[in-house]
Structure 1
Amino acid sequence: MAREVQVTFDCADPGAVSAFWAEVLGYRLQVPPKGFETWEQALEASGVPRERWNDASAVIDPDGVGPRLFFQRVPEPKQVKNRVHLDVRAAPGLAGEARMAALEAEADRLVALGATRLRRFEPAPPLDAGHMVMADPEGNEFCLD
């Protein structure tokens, strides 16, 4: 039986990092529980202290196809390279210069949102069509491919 998958990010600012990834992927912030118009209302009604309101956040695929991304506050900063990362398909079906131009355009858009460019890998057929390594605002690596 296939299992549903959630990807969890440890971070210092769940609200900001979830907003970044929602923009990257075309996701949306998860809506608050029924009966509440905002998360603030839901958290207040549940007795969560105001200083804990940014302890977690989640974004979901509006089409219900992709995994939920969950962001949880942790006290320690990122220390080392990710062992798992997301590949964001920014140039499907493209090759050569057209592919790299599409990746560059997406990288520019993401840098404006707070990402950092780390490395560009030129096409090396037959195994690598070219890709870019990026980092989100808290330094979590991901690839544009």
Structure 2
Amino acid sequence: MAHRIIAQIVLTGGRVFGRAFAEAYKQAQASSQYAKAAGGSGGPGAINTSASGMTLDEACRILNVKPPQGGTTNMESVMERFKKLYDLNEPKKTGGGSFYLQSKILRARERIEAEVRAAERKAQLEKEIKEGWKPKMYKD
């Protein structure tokens, strides 16, 4: 009798684990396909989402700023919005703030900065290609 109960417990546990594994696999597959579709759109907002975990569009909506046009944006307004929102969500100062919201605000700022840095690097590379590479010469 005891062996029958143990066998039922093992089989039931195996079924539960199998279903959970199958569901997790389906979600991972759907997430992978979504990321591939977002990356394949070719837009500048689709790049570098894995570093911060958010798209450029989402970052701009969080900070309520305009997306970078041609890789340039007013970083002063981005930093101003960042500081204001970050301070408003300080849990210790306001009592009603949220660490989660603070981290989303921080990631949004980092995502916009990464987009601007990537555009600056690309512009610098294109400038070097256009003008030719000029190594820096140091005189001793």
TM-score by length of 2: 0.25
Larger radius of gyration: 2
Between structures 1 and 2, the one with greater strand share: 1
TM-score by length of 1: 0.25
Of structures 1 and 2, the one with the larger relative CO (CA 8 A, separation 6+) is 1
